[in-house]
Structure 1
Amino acid sequence: MTIGVLLVDDDALVRSGLGFMLRASTSIDVLGEVGDGDEVPAAVATLRPDVVLMDIRMRRVDGITATRALRAAPEPPEVIVLTTFDADSDVLAALQAGAAGYLLKDTPPAEIVRAVETVAGGEPMLSPSVTRRLMELAGAGSDATTSRDSARTRLAVLSEREREVAVALGMGLSNAEIGAAAYLSTATVKAYVSRLLEKLGANNRVQVALLVQQADLTDPPTDGSAIRT
């Protein structure tokens, strides 16, 4: 079964290059492409992609706004944001909007294919270096204390076990790793994660991980693991 992908970028040359590269993979089917964020809803409704590769900076509707609207819709595709500039604030905003991860446009083709496959398989991820930078940004600033207290208030609705699973997500653990650490089956962990998303009003596990880090309940991973969602 191939993975349906929609390309969203205001640069026709970038779309052409991404399309050429992705079509070389037997696991990916490029369903179509659009040139701005305001074209995404109609394209997704028509093409029903599994994954959207979304540029952040576009002329009419930026990728962050388009991602937020897309992820708020029923049964949305996963979103990987694309950026030319390694701007932490843009990437953090995109993840908070519901994106599963991000790629720089100069990422090697094999890594882009792997990212699409990983996201489509239900395990979006961020590299450890990116995770550390984003978590530092999430908790930085003059309103860091207010932000931390707000995050802790949101997490206070969780049961002890749900909180344990949430913290594990913030540490970058997969379902299997959480299950092994907490003596739970993978299916049970998945059930807990579903409840976390519902209780916290999050639409993917990246958002839960960001919230845990914002609450300053754990440290970013340093052992080479990645946040998977």
Structure 2
Amino acid sequence: MKIIAVIPARYASTRFPAKLMQDLGGKTVILRTYEAAIATQLFDDVFVVTDSSIIFDEIVSNNGKAIMSIKEHESGSDRIAEAVQDMNIDIVVNVQGDEPFINKKPLEELITVFKNDTENKVDLASLMFQITDKEEINNPNNVKVITDQQGFALYFSRSVIPFPREENVGVRYMKHIGIYAFRKQALLDFYRLPMLSLEASEKLEQLRYLEYGKRIRMVETEHGSIGIDTPEDLEKARKLIGSLK
């Protein structure tokens, strides 16, 4: 089973432009993410795929592997699919470019999902962890996910799901971590299918998979990550980097 990691890296982020090129303890956010993916030693290869010559040059000048997108893309999945469509691979792990604090264990758990999936019931696997703080739960920057009893995703939303009409009934709120592992064919199917209303409304690409009947196996982890969506997130990340030195 050949497994690669691909990091989609867009320069013009809507909420925080050029966030991937921000300094994080002496290195850019995107370079730290790339190096962290390699350091796991889980992958046969690691690539950054980008629409930006600035990001491309940043990776290549630091002896990394980068691919320039040919087309304009609405989502990271589209960008990755274009890059890997002619590669001889089985599983693609999408590592978000703004997630520089990659932990090896949950990535291993994602890969194990496919190694154990002898009946090919899983199209994608992704990560989630429990959140309990009400501010975190209500924050639309935190994507929430609910699953069935087998751990397959039912829905993702920026809203609070489930809505707490009745409290004290044992509901757990799960935050989605934007790291995915795909079967190559599921990724290529996504690339060829048009965006539908749920994805367009929430601006969450994983909803396209659900709308077209793909099965996303969620893996619960205790390893939360610092995704850099805002300048405030960057400051938190800088403090964490400082504490690790």
Q: Could you say which TM-score interval applies, normalised by the shorter chain?
A: 0.3 to 0.5
Higher relative contact order (CA 8 A, sep 6+): 2
Going by fraction, where is strand more abundant, 1 or 2? 2
With normalisation by structure 1, the TM-score equals 0.35
